[in-house]
Structure 1
Amino acid sequence: MTARSALRRYMLVSFLTWLPVGLMGATLVLLMTSRGLSLAEVGLAVTVYSIVTATLELPTGGLADVLGRRVVLAVSAAFTVAALALLAVSTTFWMFLVSGVLKGVARALSSGPATSWYVDTLHGIEGREADLKPGLARGGAMESVALCVGVLAGGGLPLLVPAQVIFPLAAPPLVGAVAAAVLLVVVVFAMPEPAHDRRSLASVLREVPATVGSGVRLAAGVPVLRRLMAAAAASGVILCSIELLTPGRLAELAGTAERGSLAYAVVAALGFAGSAAGSALAPRAARLAGSSARGAIAGTVLAALSVGSLAATAGLSGPAGLVSAGLAYVTLFVGLSVAGLLCLEMTHNAVSAAERTTVTSTGSLSLQAGGVAANLTLGSLAGQSGAAVAWAGAALVALASALLFVRMPAPPTGSSRSPARQARAHSG
């Protein structure tokens, strides 16, 4: 396999992994409420999904490091097919709850293996000094393109499906299940992986806790990884502030919930396009800034200014408010994607293949932890003092997180000391 072939496959898998998420995202809440769920039940179903994902992040990352990337990605795709097929036919709260559990398992399983597969493959072809930024940037861009295409298609599909044939709001998750089935085929047949030693399931499961423990110790023990985990948590705060407060703000500006829903779908699609642009621009940003760490500072500051502009323009109404909110949303995702892509590169450069997926899962868990903290604080803050104050708080968190990249420690290097040994050395 050539580097170009590996990149093409990585981009395709990245696109297919996130296309089902985009397809179901635009109509998920409407589907649940139209089938009789209250908003409280919808919130509980979504919370269960988040809890399952967070709980399984590290174990599934360790499983990918032990079993291999392809196996775990294939299982993730299978869970996605089952989850979205069940979602399309769900009529009760418990069916939606089970669908949420299956989606959470699928999401946790898909967190990291595709990127780890690409990095390991490229290292095998070009060596450890291979430049990861261009490939990771294209993979990140394809994820954003998939979300953009998916949310637009998912939002428009119910208008095109005859109600006599299928319940219109069930069409997007059904199409998402088909896309996940295609992903399953691609992973099985187009992602070759070096053979692993044949081991029993019991022996594999015994290795997972040790792998997880090693990855966590590595993330906590290496200075550069500690900072990257903290930056991921700050990103979780920023993203939560957007997902929590933007829909209500747009509904207020548009005049009705229905128009606000359409406005949010359009703005979200533009945001995903901005995310794709940010991923594509990340290598250039690092080059112009002089290093990946300085490029991450630029992206983080841009994100902070964008959230700040949401706070500053919260008093605007009508078209001016819609345009300013949309521009801030798009610019925010450009900045977050630049910083996120460069953080991903720095993370992969600081670990070995043995802990790669576990450490990236630790980063994903840190991001979700930041989101949980924001959910517990920003929602009540917005309720008491308004969205502008909550956004201002998120902007300050983002601005403070830019300091994490100043004088960024170098990643562990040297053939005599592995990253795991470096972690033990740093931890005393």
Structure 2
Amino acid sequence: MTAQAARRRYALISFLTWLPTGLYIPVLVVLLLDRGISLTTVAALGVAYSATVMVLELPTGGLADVIGRRPVMIASAAASLAALLLLGLSESLWLLAISAVLRGVARALSSGPVEAWYVDQVPAEDAADMARGLSMGVMASSIALTAGTVAGALIPVGLDVSLAVPVLIAAGADLLRLVVTVVAMPESKYEASTVGSVLRGVPSAIASGVRLAVRSLALTRVLMVSAGLGVTLAVIELLTPAWMAELAGSAERGVLAYGLVAAVGFAADALGSAVSMPLLRRIGSIRAVCRIGYCVSVLALAGMAAASVVTGLPGILAVAIAYLLMFVGLGIAAGPLSQLLHSQVTTSERATVVSVQSLLLQSAGAVGSVGLGALAVVTSPWVAFLLAAVALAIPAARLVAPQPVPSVSPEVRSVR
């Protein structure tokens, strides 16, 4: 398979992986409330989903390194399809709880394998193709979330249909993902083919990946950036909706304003990913592109803190601009950061290390959400935004390439 074909398939599968999430997120809470589920129980279902993802992150990453990326992605699509059918058609609390757990299983299974599969297809010395493909994957995921969020919000209103319709459309998208994964994600057979070999291999793969993450200074610094990013995203997702509702003057207008800004935020992330490759070709340094992206994001977070003194429509516009710039910066840095990570790992531990990265992002996000959320209550949101900026700025400033990485053009000797 050519690098170009692998890049296109990776982008397509990434798009189909995140499209269902975009479709059901706008209606999820309201749909459950409409079925008589209390807000407290809705929150509990959310905890069940998150706990499932966190518990299974490392085991599923190790599984992908032992039995292969393709079967794990097939299982992810099947679990998500079953979960969304239950969510769209069932009113039983127990079935809805099973749906939440299955969504968590699907999320954990999809965290890393397709990215690891793509990197496996690209020659290690071809840094340009690898970085370009990783950025395309981020861009495809962001476009999917943008399109899905907008469609999921508009379908019930525009077509005057049930809130369950976007969820069932999302299930259809997962069915398509299942078929595409079976057809378009070939890989050679892995050695672990029996239950015993899998049970022995998964703990070994997890241990190997975790040891590498701890012992490699370069990899540790990449992972710390992910932890800082988790804090940043958690604070944004927690504080921005309520803040915009306050600025807009009502909960309804605040929800509309945040929904539109969130959708455009996904598009801004895709724009940043598109800008990433021209920047990399021009600058010739993966580390420098990462720093540019995170610098934009940190300054945007500081801008959100400053916007807290502005009220009304000017305040909403100031928050929206800072929010969009933050996601542009994150999009610029996402692909190059992944390239730095993959340059430090081998095929046998690749998916596990990506799962470690995802687990750190979620864990740091949970801690940041609780800690900085409480701080925002007793002080002000601008304090939480500033501390989130610091949480991202410190690890980003320490991000270094420990060894020369292949250049993106013949004229550039390394990307240090």
Q: Which one is further off, 388-397 or 76-85? A: 388-397
Q: Contact between 2:340 and 2:401, CA under 8 Å: does it hold in 1?
A: no
Amino acid of the residue matched to residue 361 of structure 1? S
The verdict on how the C-alpha distance between 1:246 and 1:392 changes in structure 2, with shifts beyond 3 A counting, is same
The question of 1:194 aligning with 2:165 is answered no
The verdict on how the C-alpha distance between 1:364 and 1:32 changes in structure 2, with shifts beyond 3 A counting, is same
Distance in 1 (CA, whole Å) between partners of 2:275 and 2:333 is 10
The answer for the alignment partner of 1:141 in structure 2 is: 139
**Following superposition of structure 1 onto structure 2, how do residues 337-356 of structure 1 map, counting pairs within 5 Å?**
337-356=331-350
2:166 aligned to which of 161, 164, 172: 172
The answer for the alignment partner of 1:74 in structure 2 is: 74
The answer for the alignment partner of 1:40 in structure 2 is: 40
- The 3-state SS of whatever aligns with 1:354 is helix
**Following superposition of structure 1 onto structure 2, how do residues 404-419 of structure 1 map, counting pairs within 5 Å?**
404-405=398-399, 407-410=400-403
Amino acid of the residue matched to residue 159 of structure 1? V
The alpha-carbon deviation at position 85 of structure 1 amounts to 1.0
Q: Contact between 2:66 and 2:202, CA under 8 Å: does it hold in 1?
A: yes
Distance in 1 (CA, whole Å) between partners of 2:9 and 2:348 is 22
Distance in 1 (CA, whole Å) between partners of 2:127 and 2:366 is 36
The verdict on how the C-alpha distance between 1:380 and 1:90 changes in structure 2, with shifts beyond 3 A counting, is farther
Distance in 1 (CA, whole Å) between partners of 2:116 and 2:52 is 22
The alpha-carbon deviation at position 19 of structure 1 amounts to 0.1
Deviations 1:140-169 (A, max 9, x none): 100000000000000001113445xxxx21
The alpha-carbon deviation at position 200 of structure 1 amounts to 1.1
Distance in 2 (CA, whole Å) between partners of 1:367 and 1:241 is 13
TM-score scaled by structure 1? 0.91
Q: Contact between 1:349 and 1:411, CA under 8 Å: does it hold in 2?
A: no
- The 3-state SS of whatever aligns with 2:64 is helix
The question of 1:309 aligning with 2:303 is answered yes
The answer for the alignment partner of 1:423 in structure 2 is: none
Distance in 2 (CA, whole Å) between partners of 1:316 and 1:283 is 36
Q: Contact between 1:37 and 1:92, CA under 8 Å: does it hold in 2?
A: no
Q: Contact between 1:144 and 1:272, CA under 8 Å: does it hold in 2?
A: yes
The answer for the alignment partner of 2:414 in structure 1 is: none
The alpha-carbon deviation at position 91 of structure 1 amounts to 2.5
Q: Contact between 1:65 and 1:356, CA under 8 Å: does it hold in 2?
A: yes
Deviations 1:34-90 (A, max 9, x none): 222232222221122111111111110010011111100000000010111111124
Q: Contact between 2:85 and 2:171, CA under 8 Å: does it hold in 1?
A: yes
Distance in 1 (CA, whole Å) between partners of 2:97 and 2:169 is 20
The alpha-carbon deviation at position 92 of structure 1 amounts to 4.4
Q: Which one is further off, 292-301 or 344-353? A: 292-301
Q: Contact between 1:286 and 1:296, CA under 8 Å: does it hold in 2?
A: no
The answer for the alignment partner of 1:426 in structure 2 is: none
Distance in 1 (CA, whole Å) between partners of 2:367 and 2:16 is 30
The verdict on how the C-alpha distance between 1:25 and 1:355 changes in structure 2, with shifts beyond 3 A counting, is same
The answer for the alignment partner of 1:65 in structure 2 is: 65
**Following superposition of structure 1 onto structure 2, how do residues 136-285 of structure 1 map, counting pairs within 5 Å?**
136-163=134-161, 168-197=162-191, 199-285=193-279
The alpha-carbon deviation at position 93 of structure 1 amounts to 3.9
The answer for the alignment partner of 2:91 in structure 1 is: 91
Q: Contact between 1:36 and 1:92, CA under 8 Å: does it hold in 2?
A: no
The alpha-carbon deviation at position 300 of structure 1 amounts to 1.2
Deviations 1:260-290 (A, max 9, x none): 2221221111100110011122223334444
Amino acid of the residue matched to residue 41 of structure 2? E
Distance in 2 (CA, whole Å) between partners of 1:32 and 1:277 is 33
Distance in 2 (CA, whole Å) between partners of 1:61 and 1:10 is 18
* Ranges in structure 2 where 5+ consecutive residues have no aligned partner: 407-416
Amino acid of the residue matched to residue 22 of structure 2? G
| Same amino acid, percent of matched pairs | 44
The answer for the alignment partner of 1:328 in structure 2 is: 322
Distance in 1 (CA, whole Å) between partners of 2:157 and 2:370 is 36
Amino acid of the residue matched to residue 53 of structure 2? T
Q: Contact between 1:41 and 1:93, CA under 8 Å: does it hold in 2?
A: no
The answer for the alignment partner of 1:357 in structure 2 is: 351
- The 3-state SS of whatever aligns with 2:17 is helix
Q: Contact between 2:10 and 2:114, CA under 8 Å: does it hold in 1?
A: yes
Amino acid of the residue matched to residue 111 of structure 1? S
- The 3-state SS of whatever aligns with 1:26 is helix
Q: Contact between 1:81 and 1:180, CA under 8 Å: does it hold in 2?
A: yes
What is the alpha-carbon root mean square deviation over aligned residues? 1.7
- The 3-state SS of whatever aligns with 1:314 is helix
Distance in 2 (CA, whole Å) between partners of 1:377 and 1:102 is 29
* Ranges in structure 1 where 5+ consecutive residues have no aligned partner: 414-428
Distance in 2 (CA, whole Å) between partners of 1:6 and 1:396 is 37
Q: Which one is further off, 28-37 or 272-281? A: 28-37
Distance in 1 (CA, whole Å) between partners of 2:40 and 2:368 is 19
Distance in 1 (CA, whole Å) between partners of 2:98 and 2:380 is 35
Distance in 2 (CA, whole Å) between partners of 1:121 and 1:28 is 37
Amino acid of the residue matched to residue 99 of structure 1? S
